[in-house]
């Protein structure tokens, strides 16, 4: 999140350094998670939310929420012919995945985009979350959860959450149960393959 607002020239070398470190990092022998999930939904700028999910046994492999990496990290392609501001505006108008955009093409595109993310990042389940009082995500959570389950056949956990959730025992239990259900699905799948 810091990299969104930090002056780019000041942070670029730090990012390069981190990238190098990640590339050379030795993975844990036994991963500390039991399932890979993609988190989709309203703005999360409370790190405790992701922490809560990961403490419950899930690894967040993709974040597709308002200010998340996907599609937030998409490159803004600039040309030399047009005014830069106009180009940036166009980028946000055409690439935005905010559910506020009600056009049917966009509605469908948001679902196929999540499907693509799940495939690209090998997620086993999707957590669709909505910050309380956010109407666009209120509707999108309902329709997307339905579509991802019924049309794409992914396991989905949908949650309606307050702004800060770090101490929510209820939410922790729900994520834990979801992780367990993903594990069971994995075991059943393995048994089928073996059988």
Partner 1 sequence: MGKKIGSEPLGSFYGKGKVRKRREWRGFKDTWYDYTRWVKIMMMLGKFMMKPNNVKGFLRYRWMLNYLSVPSMIDRHTTGLRGNHLRIAHEEYDLVAEDVAGLLTNVFRADRHCGNDVKFSKKCVVLDENMMFAVMCGFPNLKAVSWETAAVYVSVLLQPDAVTHYLDVAQEMGLPGDVCPMPEAETGVAIDDDMPLYGACAVQCNTTCDGSMMQNGVFTRMYEAAGIPTFQIAAPLRHTEDGVQEYCAQEIRNAIKFIEDNTGEKWDWDAYFTNIKRYNEENSHRKHWMEMSRTEYPQVFGANLALYSETTYMAVAGRAQAFVDADRRITKMAEESFRKKEMVVKEYRHRAIIWGVQSQYYTDFLPWLQNCWGILPLVDMLSLVYMDHLSEDDKDQAIYDIAKLYQEMIMRNRTHGGYEVLLDDLWRFTEYYNADMVILWEHVSCKALDGMHGLFEERAREKGIRLIWVNHDLMDPRVIPKQKIRDDVNRYMRSVMREEPIDPSLEVLDDAHMW
13-21, 31-39, 119-127, 143-151 -> range binding partner 1 (CB under 8 A): 143-151
For partner 1, the closer CB: 32 or 105 = 105
Cis omega (within 30 of 0) on the bond before 114? no
Q: Does 138 bind partner 1 (CB under 8 A)?
A: yes
Q: Does 44 bind partner 1 (CB under 8 A)?
A: no
Q: Does 145 bind partner 1 (CB under 8 A)?
A: yes
Q: Does 136 bind partner 1 (CB under 8 A)?
A: yes
Q: Does 100 bind partner 1 (CB under 8 A)?
A: yes
Please give the DSSP secondary-structure letter assigned to residue 58: E
Please give the DSSP secondary-structure letter assigned to residue 40: E
The binder of partner 1 chosen from 29, 81, 103, 194 (CB under 8 A): 103
For partner 1, the closer CB: 42 or 56 = 42
Torsion, Cα of 15, 19, 20, 22 (10° steps): 140
* CA-closest candidate to residue 132, choices 40, 71, 41, 51: 41
Decide if 46 contacts 164 (C-beta within 8 A).
Answer: yes
Decide if 94 contacts 126 (C-beta within 8 A).
Answer: no
Please give the DSSP secondary-structure letter assigned to residue 1: -
Measure the CA–CA gap between 33 and 194, rounded to whole angstroms. Answer: 23
The binder of partner 1 chosen from 18, 112, 119, 146 (CB under 8 A): 146
CB of 106 to partner 1, least distance (A): 9
- Provide the binding-site residues for partner 1, judged by CB under 8 A: 99-100, 102-104, 107, 130, 132-133, 135-136, 138-143, 145-146, 158, 160
């Amino acid at each position: 999140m810091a990299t969104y607002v930090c002056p780019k020239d000041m942070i670029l070398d730090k990012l390069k350094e981190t990238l190098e470190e990640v590339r050379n990092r030795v993975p844990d022998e036994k991963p500390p998670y039991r399932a890979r999930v993609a988190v989709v939904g309203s703005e999360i700028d409370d790190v405790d939310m992701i922490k809560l999910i990961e403490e419950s046994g899930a690894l967040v492999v993709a974040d597709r929420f308002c200010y998340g990496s996907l599609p937030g990290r998409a490159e803004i392609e600039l040309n030399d012919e047009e005014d830069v501001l106009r180009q940036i505006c166009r980028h946000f108008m055409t690439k935005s995945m905010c559910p506020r955009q009600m056009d049917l093409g966009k509605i469908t595109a948001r679902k196929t985009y999540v499907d693509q993310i799940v495939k690209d990042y090998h997620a086993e389940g999707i957590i669709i979350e909505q910050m309380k009082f956010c109407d666009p995500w209120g509707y999108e959570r309902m329709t997307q959860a339905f579509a991802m389950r019924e049309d794409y056949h992914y396991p989905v956990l949908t949650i309606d959450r307050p702004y800060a959730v770090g101490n929510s025992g209820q939410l922790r239990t729900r994520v834990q149960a979801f992780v367990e259900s993903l594990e069971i699905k994995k075991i059943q799948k393995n048994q089928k393959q073996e059988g």
